[in-house]
Amino acid sequence: MQFCQGHWDKLKTEIHSLGLGQFIAGSEEEMGRKLSAQADAPGGAPSKNTFDPLMNAFMAITQRALEVGGIGLMIELQTPPNPECPLCFMQQVHEQGCKIEGCTFTYEAWIGYAAKDQLDYAKSMGIVGEA
Protein backbone atom coordinates (compact mmCIF):
# COMPACT_ATOMS: atom_id res chain seq x y z
CA MET A 1 0.00 0.00 0.00
CA GLN A 2 1.18 3.50 -0.68
CA PHE A 3 -0.14 7.01 -0.35
CA CYS A 4 -0.42 9.47 -3.18
CA GLN A 5 2.10 12.29 -2.99
CA GLY A 6 -0.53 14.68 -1.66
CA HIS A 7 -1.52 12.51 1.29
CA TRP A 8 2.07 11.55 2.03
CA ASP A 9 3.10 15.21 2.11
CA LYS A 10 0.15 16.04 4.30
CA LEU A 11 1.09 13.36 6.79
CA LYS A 12 4.69 14.54 6.80
CA THR A 13 3.62 18.15 7.34
CA GLU A 14 1.38 17.07 10.21
CA ILE A 15 4.22 15.15 11.88
CA HIS A 16 6.52 18.15 11.50
CA SER A 17 3.92 20.52 12.91
CA LEU A 18 3.73 18.38 16.05
CA GLY A 19 7.48 18.75 16.51
CA LEU A 20 8.26 15.15 15.58
CA GLY A 21 10.10 15.95 12.35
CA GLN A 22 13.43 15.25 14.04
CA PHE A 23 12.54 11.55 14.30
CA ILE A 24 11.67 11.05 10.65
CA ALA A 25 14.27 8.95 8.88
CA GLY A 26 16.27 11.10 6.49
CA SER A 27 16.72 8.40 3.89
CA GLU A 28 15.32 5.07 2.83
CA GLU A 29 18.40 3.40 4.28
CA GLU A 30 17.81 4.95 7.65
CA MET A 31 14.14 4.02 7.53
CA GLY A 32 15.07 0.44 6.73
CA ARG A 33 17.54 0.39 9.60
CA LYS A 34 14.93 1.75 12.00
CA LEU A 35 12.33 -0.76 10.86
CA SER A 36 14.59 -3.75 11.25
CA ALA A 37 15.84 -2.50 14.62
CA GLN A 38 12.22 -2.13 15.66
CA ALA A 39 11.47 -5.67 14.54
CA ASP A 40 14.50 -6.96 16.47
CA ALA A 41 13.61 -5.05 19.62
CA PRO A 42 12.23 -7.04 22.56
CA GLY A 43 8.48 -7.29 22.08
CA GLY A 44 8.80 -5.43 18.82
CA ALA A 45 8.30 -2.19 20.71
CA PRO A 46 9.91 0.87 19.17
CA SER A 47 12.32 2.88 21.24
CA LYS A 48 13.87 6.29 20.94
CA ASN A 49 16.38 4.95 18.43
CA THR A 50 13.90 3.13 16.25
CA PHE A 51 10.92 5.45 16.53
CA ASP A 52 9.85 6.82 13.17
CA PRO A 53 6.59 8.75 13.49
CA LEU A 54 6.07 9.03 9.74
CA MET A 55 6.40 5.30 9.16
CA ASN A 56 4.36 4.47 12.26
CA ALA A 57 1.55 6.83 11.33
CA PHE A 58 1.54 5.49 7.79
CA MET A 59 1.29 1.92 9.04
CA ALA A 60 -1.45 2.84 11.50
CA ILE A 61 -3.49 4.37 8.70
CA THR A 62 -3.02 1.43 6.33
CA GLN A 63 -3.93 -0.97 9.13
CA ARG A 64 -7.06 1.00 9.85
CA ALA A 65 -7.93 1.10 6.16
CA LEU A 66 -7.68 -2.69 6.06
CA GLU A 67 -9.90 -2.97 9.11
CA VAL A 68 -12.51 -0.80 7.44
CA GLY A 69 -12.15 -2.05 3.88
CA GLY A 70 -11.26 -5.66 4.58
CA ILE A 71 -8.77 -7.71 2.64
CA GLY A 72 -10.66 -6.91 -0.56
CA LEU A 73 -9.29 -3.41 -0.26
CA MET A 74 -5.84 -4.64 -1.25
CA ILE A 75 -7.23 -5.97 -4.50
CA GLU A 76 -9.26 -2.83 -5.18
CA LEU A 77 -6.16 -0.69 -4.76
CA GLN A 78 -4.31 -2.75 -7.33
CA THR A 79 -7.13 -2.53 -9.85
CA PRO A 80 -6.84 0.41 -12.25
CA PRO A 81 -8.34 2.95 -12.60
CA ASN A 82 -8.80 2.91 -8.82
CA PRO A 83 -6.37 5.15 -6.98
CA GLU A 84 -3.55 3.23 -5.30
CA CYS A 85 -3.74 5.49 -2.29
CA PRO A 86 -6.11 4.01 0.33
CA LEU A 87 -7.24 7.44 1.51
CA CYS A 88 -8.06 8.58 -2.02
CA PHE A 89 -9.79 5.31 -2.76
CA MET A 90 -11.93 5.29 0.36
CA GLN A 91 -12.82 8.90 -0.26
CA GLN A 92 -13.95 8.01 -3.75
CA VAL A 93 -16.05 5.11 -2.47
CA HIS A 94 -17.60 7.36 0.13
CA GLU A 95 -18.48 10.06 -2.37
CA GLN A 96 -20.04 7.53 -4.72
CA GLY A 97 -22.22 6.07 -1.98
CA CYS A 98 -22.93 9.15 0.09
CA LYS A 99 -26.46 10.47 0.06
CA ILE A 100 -25.82 13.53 2.17
CA GLU A 101 -25.95 16.71 0.17
CA GLY A 102 -22.96 18.97 0.71
CA CYS A 103 -21.24 16.27 2.76
CA THR A 104 -17.85 17.38 4.01
CA PHE A 105 -16.74 14.02 5.34
CA THR A 106 -13.08 13.36 4.64
CA TYR A 107 -10.73 10.55 5.45
CA GLU A 108 -7.99 13.15 5.76
CA ALA A 109 -8.97 13.38 9.41
CA TRP A 110 -7.21 10.03 9.82
CA ILE A 111 -3.93 11.77 9.05
CA GLY A 112 -4.41 14.11 11.99
CA TYR A 113 -5.40 11.30 14.36
CA ALA A 114 -2.48 9.11 13.34
CA ALA A 115 -0.01 11.95 13.74
CA LYS A 116 -1.44 12.86 17.14
CA ASP A 117 -1.10 9.23 18.28
CA GLN A 118 2.58 9.42 17.44
CA LEU A 119 2.95 12.53 19.56
CA ASP A 120 1.26 10.81 22.50
CA TYR A 121 3.51 7.85 21.95
CA ALA A 122 6.64 9.99 21.85
CA LYS A 123 5.54 11.64 25.08
CA SER A 124 4.97 8.28 26.71
CA MET A 125 8.53 7.30 25.78
CA GLY A 126 9.70 10.57 27.27
CA ILE A 127 11.50 11.67 24.11
CA VAL A 128 9.52 14.87 23.70
CA GLY A 129 8.34 17.38 26.27
CA GLU A 130 4.83 17.94 27.46
CA ALA A 131 4.63 21.36 25.80
Q: How far apart are CA 93 and CA 88, in angstroms?
A: 9
Tell the smallest beta-carbon distance from residue 73 to Zn ion (Å).
14
- Is the Cβ of residue 45 or residue 98 nearer to Zn ion in the bound state? 98
- Is the Cβ of residue 41 or residue 103 nearer to Zn ion in the bound state? 103
Q: How far apart are CA 110 and CA 87, in angstroms?
A: 9
Under DSSP, is residue 100 helix (H, G, I), strand (E, B) or coil?
coil
Return phi, psi of residue 94, to 5°: -60, -50
Chain residues in the site for Zn ion (CB under 5 A): 4, 7, 85, 87-88, 98, 100, 103, 105
Tell the smallest beta-carbon distance from residue 77 to Zn ion (Å).
11
99, exposed or middle or buried, with CB in 10 Å at 0-12, 13-18, 19+? Answer: exposed
Q: How far apart are CA 32 and CA 29, in angstroms?
A: 5
Tell the smallest beta-carbon distance from residue 118 to Zn ion (Å).
19
- Is the Cβ of residue 71 or residue 100 nearer to Zn ion in the bound state? 100
Tell the smallest beta-carbon distance from residue 90 to Zn ion (Å).
9
